[in-house]
A and B are shown apart, each in its own frame.
Chain A
Amino acid sequence: MKGMSLIVKTVTRWIKGFIFLFGIYIVLTGHLSPGGGFAGGVILASSFILLTLAFGKEVALSKLSKNMASELDSIGALMFLTIALLGMCCGGAFFVNFLHRSHPGEAFRLLSAGNIMLYNIAIGIKVGASLFMVFVIISAIKVVLKDDAMKMIRHK
């Protein structure tokens, strides 16, 4: 049985969805309340990291494989740039908030800030996928030091 004990596994099974939902909430309401794309993306990544810690690497990688995470990372960055470039066509300059100009929503509503929500979603996808990837790379790849390497580090 890989991973941690039964208690950790059961608790993880219950709360992993809530952590993921909370991350999505933080990303989507970044323009209304504290938080935003970066913090929400880290919460999204941490739900997958919890899965990795509790159930082992295989379960987490079956839900979000390393290639998929790499693609999501690139998709998030490209989405951010594409929306910024769309500002050039629709608004006249790089990074123009053209959606807010054409459809100014009521303040303090979810659809009030135009492009900012889309930027937040892009950054959330990018940060979540890339940080999960970093965790998998750092923790899953084990570098076993040979004896002489150990001695060299000890005597340094």
Chain B
Amino acid sequence: MFELIFLLLIFCIIGALVAVETRDLLSAIIALGAVGFGLSIIFLLLKAPDIAITQIVVEILCLVVLIRATISRDLTTISGDREFFGMIATVVLLFVAFLFGLEVLRELPQFGAPLFTKAPGAVTNVYLTEGLAKTGAANIVTAILLDFRAYDTLGEATVLFTSILGAMAILRIRSRKKVRD
């Protein structure tokens, strides 16, 4: 199973590189969609169907919205060369992040052996053993999201609400300006 996950990860990385490097905006969006679908299959293989469903559904929606928004514009290709200094800065920053990442990876617990299996008093154990009795929800993910950590969901809903308000306000001003011109 791990080989399949690694293959999918490599596929995702290649898709992301294509999305960054290609000149055509439409093929960049389609490569981005391939990354998303590969990610959802990885979630499914890691036995996280909740996240897989959310990932695939949001990916389809984003893909449709982005393709629609791209096709309706005239401008679909990106031209112009990259700045030399920007490239150097990117490479240096990536190298620094890579060094820090190596240090962090040494400290992380083994894959598939999360920290709460070692700490008996961890709160995640309570969620797993008493979640059904305390909330009545058979799906433990929903029990955590909407009961134990409902504040988190409240914040998430607020963020969505505010961002959509902001998007509406910005786009409305722009359309008004175009009408005035």
B68 contacts which of A39, A120, A139 (Cβ < 8 Å)? A139
| Cβ contact within 8 Å between A145 and B73 | yes
| Cβ contact within 8 Å between B157 and A49 | no
Within 8 A of B (CB), among A97-156: 97, 100, 104-105, 107-108, 112-116, 119-120, 123, 126-127, 130-131, 133-135, 137-139, 141-145, 150, 153-156
| Cβ contact within 8 Å between B57 and A123 | no
Q: A34-B53, A84-B150 are in contact. List 8 more A-B contacts (CB 8 A).
A: A34-B52, A104-B136, A130-B161, A138-B171, A139-B65, A145-B75, A154-B75, A154-B80
**B65: which A residues are within 8 A, CB to CB?**
134-135, 138-139
Contact A32:B139 (CB < 8 A) given known A73-B161, A139-B69 = yes
- Whether, in the assembled complex, A45 has its beta carbon less than 8 Å from a beta carbon of chain B, the answer is yes
Alpha-carbon distance A155/B145, docked complex (angstroms): 48
| Cβ contact within 8 Å between B161 and A112 | no
**A104: which B residues are within 8 A, CB to CB?**
136
A95 contacts which of B132, B147, B158, B167 (Cβ < 8 Å)? B147
- Whether, in the assembled complex, B92 has its beta carbon less than 8 Å from a beta carbon of chain A, the answer is no
Most buried by B among A112, A120, A133, A134: A134
Q: How many chain A residues touch the partner (CB < 8 A)? A: 59
- Whether, in the assembled complex, B160 has its beta carbon less than 8 Å from a beta carbon of chain A, the answer is yes
A113 contacts which of B137, B151, B157, B174 (Cβ < 8 Å)? B137
- Whether, in the assembled complex, B60 has its beta carbon less than 8 Å from a beta carbon of chain A, the answer is yes
Determine the main DSSP class of B at the interface with A. helix
| Cβ contact within 8 Å between A30 and B150 | no
| Cβ contact within 8 Å between A116 and B61 | no
Q: How many chain B residues touch the partner (CB < 8 A)? A: 46
**A100: which B residues are within 8 A, CB to CB?**
135-136
Binding site for B on A (CB under 8 A): 26, 30-39, 42-43, 45-46, 49, 53, 70, 73-74, 77, 80-81, 84, 95, 97, 100, 104-105, 107-108, 112-116, 119-120, 123, 126-127, 130-131, 133-135, 137-139, 141-145, 150, 153-156
- Whether, in the assembled complex, B153 has its beta carbon less than 8 Å from a beta carbon of chain A, the answer is yes
- Whether, in the assembled complex, B143 has its beta carbon less than 8 Å from a beta carbon of chain A, the answer is yes
Closest A residue to B69 using CB positions: A138
| Cβ contact within 8 Å between A73 and B164 | yes
Alpha-carbon distance A39/B56, docked complex (angstroms): 9
- Whether, in the assembled complex, B130 has its beta carbon less than 8 Å from a beta carbon of chain A, the answer is no
Q: List 19 A-B contacts (CB under 8 A).
A: A30-B139, A31-B136, A34-B49, A34-B53, A36-B141, A73-B161, A74-B161, A95-B147, A95-B151, A108-B138, A112-B138, A113-B137, A116-B142, A135-B61, A138-B68, A139-B72, A141-B171, A141-B174, A143-B174
**B73: which A residues are within 8 A, CB to CB?**
143, 145
Alpha-carbon distance A43/B53, docked complex (angstroms): 10
**A81: which B residues are within 8 A, CB to CB?**
154
